[in-house]
């Protein structure tokens, strides 16, 4: 998830500096994300920070910008890119982006862009590869079409192998953290994870061998949150938006998936990502 200005770079004032993101910046970063209407709690910021390196932009000691680089093997995700509304038009978005691009090194880079950020990312060499549909709402009580059971942290190594086949990312540590915080849902040909996030819960990732399995995993996640608020972020091309909407999760927006220095994807994969961990973490 990214939110940055699309203006041309200008020289920033001398009292504007970048520092490495640390735990002491979490409270101010939370306030910055609230300013742009993001639903993240301090716990959600902390999860992202725990698997990432990042920078903060400081003006006189005040946090006015953030950006993370999250490395998963050969892929780096650039995320939590926010610029204070007062600072837009001064080139700060480009500065924090250049900092995390440097952290990514030679890896493929991915991000999910807001409409406002698209022009800047295109100038920095990113290309659009798809759309992410954000679905959320009050979950309905439903019955999945296929059996879904409970897993636990002991399943993570096997599930991370499925996830890597689907996404190209080595995310075992992230999945282990999510499994420790939330619930693991297992089907014969896939898995999903459910955890607290924002206003309620988020379902993701959803990784499956086929769409029927993915639909069942999503339905089970919805069933477990029946009557409560649930969010899921779906790659639009997977064709499950109507399914999510039928379960009470309306399409309320999303972003543009972008990549730079993309690796050549295999022609056929055994598993597919049907829902993201989050727009930030892919």
For residues 249-268, give the mean pLDDT. 90
Helix (H) or strand (E) holding 169: none
Angstrom distances, CA of residue 104 to CA of 57, 101, 115, 118, 205: 18, 5, 23, 19, 23
pLDDT at 90: 84
Please list, in sequence order, all residues whose beta carbon lies within 8 angstroms of the beta carbon of residue 60, skipping any fewer than 6 positions away: 15
Assign 256 to helix, strand or coil: strand
pLDDT at 14: 55
Please list, in sequence order, all residues whose beta carbon lies within 8 angstroms of the beta carbon of residue 242, skipping any fewer than 6 positions away: none
pLDDT at 97: 97
pLDDT at 11: 36
Helix (H) or strand (E) holding 40: none
* Chain segment 63-110, per-residue pLDDT in tens: 999 999 999 999 999 999 999 988 888 899 999 999 999 999 999 999
Nearest C-alpha neighbor of 72 from the set 112, 108, 23: 108
Percent of the chain with pLDDT over 70: 95
Reply yes or no on whether the pLDDT at 129 is more than 70.
yes
Reply yes or no on whether the pLDDT at 45 is more than 60.
yes
Reply yes or no on whether the pLDDT at 142 is more than 60.
yes
- Whole-number average pLDDT of the chain: 94
Beta-bridged to residue 178, according to DSSP, are none
∠ at Cα 187 (133, 171), nearest 5°? Answer: 60
pLDDT at 279: 97
Domains and CATH numbers, the chain: 2-125 (3.40.630.30), 133-254+264-275 (3.40.630.90)
pLDDT at 1: 63
Please list, in sequence order, all residues whose beta carbon lies within 8 angstroms of the beta carbon of residue 51, skipping any fewer than 6 positions away: 70, 173, 174, 177, 281
* Chain segment 260-277, per-residue pLDDT in tens: 998 877 767 899 999 999
For residues 24-34, give the mean pLDDT. 97
Cα distance between residue 11 and residue 105, in whole Å: 25
* Chain segment 145-196, per-residue pLDDT in tens: 999 999 999 999 999 999 999 999 999 999 999 999 999 999 999 999 999 9
- 194 contacts 226 by C-beta, under 8 angstroms: no
For residues 203-222, give the mean pLDDT. 98
């Amino acid at each position: 998830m990214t939110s940055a200005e699309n203006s041309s770079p200008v020289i920033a004032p001398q009292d504007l500096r970048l520092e490495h993101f640390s735990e002491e910046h979490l409270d101010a970063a939370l306030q910055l994300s609230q300013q742009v209407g993001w639903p993240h709690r301090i716990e959600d910021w902390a999860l992202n920070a725990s698997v990432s390196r990042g920078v903060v932009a400081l003006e006189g000691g005040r946090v006015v910008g953030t950006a993370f680089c999250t490395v998963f093997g050969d892929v780096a995700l650039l995320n939590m890119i926010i610029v204070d509304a007062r600072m837009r038009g001064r080139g700060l978005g480009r500065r924090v982006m250049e900092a995390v691009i440097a952290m990514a090194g030679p890896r493929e880079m991915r991000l999910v862009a807001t409409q406002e950020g698209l022009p800047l990312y295109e100038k920095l060499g990113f290309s659009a590869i798809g759309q992410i549909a954000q679905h959320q709402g009050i979950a309905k009580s439903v019955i999945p079409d296929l059996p879904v059971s409970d897993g636990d942290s002991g399943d993570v190594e096997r599930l991370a192998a499925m996830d890597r086949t689907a996404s190209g990312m080595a995310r075992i540590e992230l999945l282990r953290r999510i499994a420790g915080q939330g619930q693991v849902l297992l089907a014969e040909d896939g898995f999903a994870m459910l955890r607290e996030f924002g206003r309620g819960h988020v379902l993701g990732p959803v990784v499956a061998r086929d769409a029927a399995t993915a639909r069942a995993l999503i339905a089970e996640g919805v069933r477990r949150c029946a009557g409560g608020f649930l969010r899921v972020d779906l790659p639009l091309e997977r064709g499950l938006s109507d399914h999510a909407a039928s379960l009470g999760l309306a399409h309320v927006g999303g972003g543009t998936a972008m990549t730079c220095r993309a690796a050549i994807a295999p022609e056929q994969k055994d598993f597919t990502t049907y829902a993201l961990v989050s727009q930030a973490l892919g």
